[in-house]
Chain A
């Protein structure tokens, strides 16, 4: 019964999405004034009810997973009655069908929210926006209902479930995909706003202000999702790396790059009414990147370490959706963009100028990543198999990232419209000196490669430069959005130092140890004390007990495990980490080398934690900016309400 309720809610929601599309489209076509076209009145309520129904369907799916209802195919395929409850619930979206349902749920909830609260834009633009939102949702409902029905029943209930991929039985999974989805879907709202503004030819600063919180929210979730995903890969896969340029990682990075560019160009549009066509274009591109990512991941067209349920038929379905939405939006862009007037002009040396350079360079990095991700696809079409890895991505993205970071140091100090470089010369000189000092210190400490060295120097300089906009300002009257920018830029510098330090100073040791043997890595001495079996709820493991002592100090105990799950059968490594202020010791227990020796892999990674700490700072900056924008908006609304009330009093 639960499954049938969920399915019925899903069909009803799809019908409402269709209503939202048709009513919105007709209302825009008729050009009816607000309140007169009866269809137009249906658009907002349809969006709200659709959101409620979809959330209901998703709640039903979670309920099915929590009860482990094995008569439902999806539950039997992906869950197991002996699993801990938190992973049963996380299992609801740890698979293709469930994650697609999560996707439309978040999207319809976002649609409901804009239908409820967004009143700044002309009503026609809002109707076009909601119609676009309904159109996108409709495609995903069709995808769910016709090709990936999460509520499908088995003819005969299964006796026991298949279990969840053990790599995913981790608390990180419970939050990583939903976080990324919130990001992707937030970009779908930006896309709908862009299409709505384009169709009604009202690309205005108001449009940028209405879209900005959604981009900002999406960007925060993408930042957190990428940071968490990177840390998960780092400790769960046991390879000691934190970024692999895997197609699935790139699929999350590309929307982030596009969203970052969009965020900055929307700021220019909101503040100075410039970059109109470019902002619209980025709105379309940001969402296409999340859809291209979904397509690449789900179709199995590229080989990835992420073993998703890959299915060419589903790939074809997503490709068709991609063709309709993105092709359609870009065609409308081609037809309409030339009718959007150019907007305000500005000098090269100005805040806008720096933001344009930032946008161009971010787009270039996006192009580099996109090309590298799609290149195997291109060459395979010509019969050659290649895989593209760090030797391409690292230098090619650095070529654009390094100048971008330089501009990032200077940009926030510049004034809008027109400025002179001499005015900001002395603060920039300070940042440059710090960068130079960083360069000298780093090259004296070790002899890293060119890129890590530049990264360390730039990171140091940028950390100082990012704080300079606070100079001479009253911190208590500083707008939250400005503080957010400072924090996010500082986070970039912190993450950069972490990345560069990891590749410059990491030390690795692979040793075959008998119990009682000691291996050294960096300042650490690690003794293998014992290897013993341990059992968990649905796995058993060999656990190594290692005493690690830093520079001869008091030893800490590390317990890396080699786990064997029995539902489904699979082996995973659980690395053990010891975090100090200046880095992390990373230990992995491998196979028995022969009768009595064990393969042990150790890394000492100085300052590696700064990567994720920086990522969180970037997201925190986004949160501060979002709070500032929303608070400002609420204040303006309150003032307007008060003004209206006073006028009414005067009139009475």
Chain B
């Protein structure tokens, strides 16, 4: 019987204790980083979702100017909550294009007349094809797309008032 063997459990326990204590003091990064940053937008062309705005195609994104691409739907409650932030972004000069997910023209029109229309163009994504192709799993989500149609940032969930400057900064970075 070697005496040191009886200290083995203690050594293992101390190792666990060290890792756990260190881990407990670390700030927890719960943010999911998008795998689509740096990827080009796929080829697409969508009909107009509203009567007073044109539809959206890949060519519209490749006009040299960075844009915000907002994925939303008239049936989505957080999208309504997000509307003031989109209006604020628009007022500060951010070009915004919209993609309406699984929506009807009359519902889109009702939503826009109620909450305002910050969009230059709105495409209708009736089967979530574009949404799934660019790695978006819910509404609302906002992508920063640079002038060459490359995704530079993905924001999951509604934009909060405090996040407006951050989004503007991402848009400015995409323009450089």
Mark A residues whose CB is within 8 Å of B. Answer: 277, 281, 284-285, 288, 292, 295, 299, 301, 312, 315-316, 319, 322-323, 326-327, 330-331, 333-335, 337-338, 342, 374, 377-378, 380-381
Q: Which residues of B contact A337 (CB under 8 A)?
A: 6
Q: Which residues of B contact A330 (CB under 8 A)?
A: 9-10, 13
> Taking CB as reference atom, which chain B residue is nearest A328?
B10
How many Å lie between the Cα of A243 and that of B23 in the bound state?
A: 27
Q: Which of B9, B16, B21 meets A281, CB within 8 Å?
A: B9
> Taking CB as reference atom, which chain A residue is nearest B2?
A338
B15-35: which residues lie under 8 A (CB-CB) from chain A?
Answer: 16-17, 19-24
A301 touches B23 (CB 8 A): yes
A-B contacts, 9 of them at CB < 8 A, read A288-B13, A292-B16, A299-B24, A301-B20, A322-B17, A330-B10, A333-B10, A338-B3, A377-B20
The number of inter-chain residue pairs (CB within 8 angstroms) is 54
B33, chain A: closest CB distance, angstroms: 10
How many Å lie between the Cα of A316 and that of B17 in the bound state?
A: 11
B20 touches A319 (CB 8 A): yes
How many Å lie between the Cα of A323 and that of B21 in the bound state?
A: 10
Q: Which of A315, A327, A335, A380 meets B14, CB within 8 Å?
A: A327
B1 touches A381 (CB 8 A): no
Known A-B contacts A319-B20, A377-B23; A342 and B1 likewise in contact (beta carbons under 8 Å): yes
| B44 contacts chain A at the CB level, 8 A cutoff | no
B20 touches A327 (CB 8 A): no
A326 touches B13 (CB 8 A): yes
Instruction: Classify the secondary structure of B's interface with A.
Output: helix
Q: Which residues of B contact A301 (CB under 8 A)?
A: 20, 23-24
B6 touches A334 (CB 8 A): yes
B19 touches A338 (CB 8 A): no
A374 touches B10 (CB 8 A): no
Known A-B contacts A312-B24, A380-B23, A381-B23; A331 and B16 likewise in contact (beta carbons under 8 Å): no
Known A-B contacts A326-B13, A330-B13; A338 and B6 likewise in contact (beta carbons under 8 Å): yes
B22, chain A: closest CB distance, angstroms: 6
> Taking CB as reference atom, which chain B residue is nearest A315?
B24
A316 touches B13 (CB 8 A): no
How many Å lie between the Cα of A374 and that of B10 in the bound state?
A: 17
Contacts A319-B20, A319-B24, A381-B23 aside, 9 further interface pairs with beta carbons under 8 A come to: A277-B6, A284-B9, A327-B10, A333-B10, A334-B6, A334-B10, A337-B6, A338-B6, A381-B19
B9, chain A: closest CB distance, angstroms: 5
Q: Which residues of B contact A327 (CB under 8 A)?
A: 10, 13-14, 17
B5, chain A: closest CB distance, angstroms: 9
Q: Which residues of B contact A331 (CB under 8 A)?
A: 10
Q: Which of B1, B7, B14, B24 meets A316, CB within 8 Å?
A: B24
> Taking CB as reference atom, which chain B residue is nearest A285?
B9
Q: Which residues of A contact B1 (CB under 8 A)?
A: 338, 342
Q: Which residues of A contact B7 (CB under 8 A)?
A: 334
How many Å lie between the Cα of A330 and that of B19 in the bound state?
A: 18
How many Å lie between the Cα of A292 and that of B20 in the bound state?
A: 10
B67, chain A: closest CB distance, angstroms: 32
